[in-house]
Amino acid sequence: MKRFTQKSWSKWLMLLAFLGYGSVYAQSDSNGESPVTKTYAFKNATVIQAPGKSLSKTTVLVKNGVISAVGTSVQIPPDAQVIAADSLYIYAGFIDGLNQTGVKRPENQGRVRAENPAKPTYTESGVTPQVSVLEQVDFKSAQLEEWRKAGFTTAHIVPYGRMLPGSGSVVSLAAHGAVDAMVLKGNNSMYAQFTGAGGTYPSNSLGIMAMWRDLYKNAQLSWEHQNLYKANPSGIERPINDQVLASFYPTLNKERGVVFNATGLLEAKRALDLQKQLGFPLILGNLKEGWTLIDQIKASNTKVFLSLALPEKKEAKKADGDAAWLASEKEARNERIEEAYKMYVAQAATFEKAGIKFGFAGIDAKSGDLKKNLKVMMDNGLSETAALAALTTNPAEILGMSNQLGTVEAGKLANLMISTAPYFTEDAQIKYMMADGMLYEYEIKAPAKKTNGNGNGNASNASFDPAGTWDFTSPTPMGEINGKMVIEKAASGYTGKMTVNTPEGSSSEDMTLIKAEGDKLSFQINQSVQGMTITLNVSGTVSGTKFTGNMDTGQFGAFPISATKNPGL
């Protein structure tokens, strides 16, 4: 291979500029705003295509918000932003089965004062099924980013209210500039809960059940009347357009189900009783105590979203002024508390064992508790495969969106979660999220400080030792460049040389300002090009022996770079 001269290096950089390389490879930010390209290629990743199905050294190509190809020999178009994903793990974006992410609580939701408590209006009774959750969504809400950062790309959101607050919708958690752009499946559920109207009927659960039966049966009569009138209006009283009753029609026709926020055992049992009496498709959402209802759930073909919230482990305490407290009584109470706690945290495993597919509901949970709570469930019997299914394929199926969501397959929406290690391992962190084809990059926190073989920390307070020989590659519109980075320890830190191979030849340049902090590695290369100095800033993340980052050439643009450290060097 011929020597890569300064002239040819200059030619290479100028050609990159001429081709607009910098604009093609403009990096994403944490807000996912103003993408320059809508084509992305995650190259040589480990892809968990579906629960229990993993592919190695696989490239995922995304075009215009859709997964275009998944495979080991994918043709990458020249306008793609290529992300070296050798050390990364790609999953389908998580789906929240029931939440109010980004939903604004309406004002004046205090105690109802009905003008005629004996005959309240629908609104006074908390019956507003004609309301759409989309009327309450704030597309600028910080909650969208909070849940997206936790791995979720999609959520089934529901409105605030009482007995029948309105209809739920499946939305994207991408940073769209309008509510309509968020909608993946609008008004796909009727949302219900056992929340009384307080100052008027129905004020309790029994009243809610009675009113539910009346509304459902009146809706059936109204539907029949509408059909008769439509078939032959002659001699038939014109039906009244009742928006509340009309909201039940898709449920009567089994076109959409009823999602009951039934957290406790009694509420879940009452929802199942209503379903048995009336026959509507039922989804128990935010279920917290349902393990004794498994037979009823299976028999009625009820769908389930288990709560992602878990209780704090409690211990029985001595009651104030109870002089007769006995150690044996305290022990018995502790045993009952411990048994109830174990049943709760093992609920997901119990449903898995019973063969019931379930998703998760985050409506009462904190996004930051996701991994912690999943670990508790898995420590109590839930398998990794079932946990992943509950976050991806199961909610996609329950919400009727398996053809768009839940797996990493060509043709599906580009909703991806990309982590630095297998997601369920302790050290895994989310590096990228892609929602609706929008890319978000997150900072990786440095792991706990490690020591090298002789017991001393490395010279730069890093979790790795950068000294050694690294083989690197970087794609460009003119072909892939590659070479070696040789880093050596010095009294004041590190020194290094970077040898670059291109179709034009090769050249060795000094690496300066080498920094290794936490899991970050960065350095500079200064190159004279046509009388001016071009500074290449290289920075990225090290995971094990893998380096993934970017090479920023300033005015000539930025492009991905990945490297592997040679063992024993």
My answer on whether 225 and 236 are in the same domain is: yes
Which CATH number belongs to the domain containing residue 303 in this structure?
A: 3.20.20.140
Q: What is the pLDDT of residue 130?
A: 96
Residue that is last in its domain, among 441, 457, 492: 441
Over range 154-179, report the average pLDDT. Answer: 95
Confidence of residue 511 (pLDDT cuts 50, 70, 90): confident
Question: Is residue 21's pLDDT more than 60?
Answer: no
Q: Is residue 288 domain-shared with residue 435, that is, in the same domain?
A: no
What is the C-alpha to C-alpha distance for residues 524 and 57, in angstroms, rounded to an integer? Answer: 30
Alpha helices in 194-288 (DSSP H): 205-231, 243-246, 249-252, 265-278
Q: Do 77 and 43 share a structural domain?
A: yes
Q: What is residue 549's predicted lDDT score, i.e. its pLDDT?
A: 85
Give residue 505's region: left, alpha or beta (phi > 0; psi -120 to 50): left
169: Cα separation from own chain's centroid: 16
Sign of the alpha-carbon torsion through 374, 378, 382, 385: positive
Q: What pLDDT score does 513 carry?
A: 87
pLDDT band at residue 524 under the 50/70/90 scheme? confident
Q: What are phi and psi of 385, to 5 degrees?
A: -65, -45
pLDDT at 532 over 70: no
Residue 238 in domain: yes
Find the CATH number of the domain harbouring 547: 2.40.128.120
* Same-domain check for residues 508 and 559: yes
- Residue 112, domain member (yes or no): no
Statement: residue 431 has pLDDT above 80: yes
Q: By CB neighbour count within 10 A (0-12 exposed, 13-18 middle, 19+ buried), where does 383 fall? A: middle
> Per the omega criterion (within 30 degrees of 0), is the bond before 35 cis?
no
- Max mean pLDDT among 99-108, 320-329, 423-432, 472-481 falls in 423-432
Residue 113 in any domain: the answer is no
Q: Are residues 20 and 36 in the same domain?
A: no
Distance CA 271, CA 193 (A): 9
* Spacing of C-alpha 213 from chain mean position: 37
Closest residue by Cα to residue 407 from 56, 42, 85, 93: 93
Buried b / exposed e along 284-316 (16+ C-beta atoms within 10 A): bbbbbbbbebbebbeebebbbbbbbbbeeeeeb
* Token digits of residue 395: 């909610």
DSSP 21-89: HHHHTPPP-TT--S-S-SEEEEEEEEEEEETTEEEEEEEEEEETTEEEEEESSPPPPTT-EEEE-TT-E
Residue 484, in any domain of the structure: yes
Q: Same domain for 385 and 524?
A: no
* CB contact at 8 A, 500 and 4: yes
Residue 30 has pLDDT above 60, yes or no: no
Q: Look at residue 173 and tell me if it is in a domain.
A: yes
- List, for residues 438-453, the tens digit of each pLDDT value: 999 998 877 654 444 3
Q: Domain range for residue 237?
A: 96-105+123-317+325-398
Between 93-97, 100-104, 311-315, 327-331, the lowest mean confidence (pLDDT) is in 327-331
Token output for 273 = 């009783």
Torsion of CA 10, 13, 17, 22, to 10 degrees: -160
Quote the strand ranges of 108-234, DSSP E: 152-157, 166-172, 183-193
Q: Are 299 and 354 in contact (CB under 8 A)?
A: no
Sheet holding 94-99, edge to edge: 94-99, 152-157, 166-172, 183-193, 257-261, 282-287, 303-307, 358-361
pLDDT digits (tens, 9 = 90+) for 120-134: 889 988 999 999 999
How high is the pLDDT of residue 35?
54
**Cα distance between residue 140 and residue 353, in whole Å:** 41
Q: Is there a domain that residue 115 lies in?
A: no
CA–CA separation, 554 vs 557, rounded Å? 6
CA count, 13 A, side-chain hemisphere, 405: 33
Q: Is residue 116 part of a domain?
A: no
Q: 372 and 432: one domain?
A: no
Q: 115-129, 388-402, 497-511: which has the minimum mean pLDDT?
A: 497-511
Q: Is residue 57 part of a domain?
A: yes
The answer to whether 156 and 169 are in contact (CB under 8 A) is yes
Of 409, 443, 415, the residue nearest 539 (C-alpha): 443
Domain count across the chain: 3
Q: Is 78 in the same domain as 214?
A: no
For strands 468-474 and 481-490, give the pairing: antiparallel
- Given this model, what pLDDT does residue 96 score? 98
Indicate which CATH number applies to the domain containing 40: 2.30.40.10
Same domain, 175 and 202: yes
pLDDT of residue 11 exceeding 50: yes
Dist. CA 476–CA 140, nearest whole Å: 36
> Considering only 179-193, 260-274, 419-433, 457-471, which range has the smallest mean pLDDT?
457-471
Same domain membership, residue 368 and residue 437 = no
Per-residue pLDDT, averaged over 353-377, amounts to 95
359: tokens are 């998703």
Whether residue 524 is found in the same domain as residue 501: yes
Give me the numbers of helices (H) and strands (E) for the chain, helices first please: 14, 24
For residue 568, what pLDDT is reported? 61
Within this chain, do residues 415 and 540 fall inside the same structural domain, yes or no?
no
User: How far apart (Å, rounded) are the C-alpha atoms in residues 491 and 515?
Assistant: 14
